[in-house]
């Protein structure tokens, strides 16, 4: 599966961690078993065993994680949009 990890403005997020999570538990059959790191432009590629339904999850420092709907190998994976983490609330006085 190939896709992109982007910010809210559509810019690619290189270095985002991307993993395939089996929809029904078990092993997604990924090459490394753990996922991959998005490269230039936020582009990633994960090899998933044929016939395995999974969700694609992306996370990056300073951003909230994003997860796709269930997809099958060969499906088009929509861009995973990472939003900035909310700033911590100020301490009460």
pTM: 0.80
Query: Closest by alpha carbon to 28, among 44, 49, 45?
Result: 49
Where do the domains of the chain lie, and which CATH numbers do they carry?
2-82 (2.60.40)
For residues 23 and 19, which has the higher predicted lDDT (pLDDT)?
19
Q: Mind listing the pLDDT tens digit for each residue in 48-88?
A: 877 778 889 999 999 999 998 877 777 778 899 999 987 66
Q: What is the mean pLDDT of residues 26-39?
A: 68
The residues with which 4 forms a beta bridge, in sequence order, are 43
How far is 18 from 74, CA to CA, in rounded Å? Answer: 17
Report d(CA 72, CA 5) in Å as an integer. Answer: 18
């Amino acid at each position: 599966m190939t896709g992109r990890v982007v910010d809210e403005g559509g810019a690619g997020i290189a270095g985002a961690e991307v993993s395939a999570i089996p929809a029904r538990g078990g092993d997604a059959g990924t090459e490394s078993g753990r996922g991959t790191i998005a490269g230039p432009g936020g582009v990633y590629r994960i090899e998933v065993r044929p016939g395995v339904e999974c969700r694609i999850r992306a996370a990056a420092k300073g951003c909230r994680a994003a997860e796709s709907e269930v997809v099958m190998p060969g499906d088009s994976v929509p861009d995973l949009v990472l939003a900035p983490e909310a700033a911590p609330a100020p301490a009460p006085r």
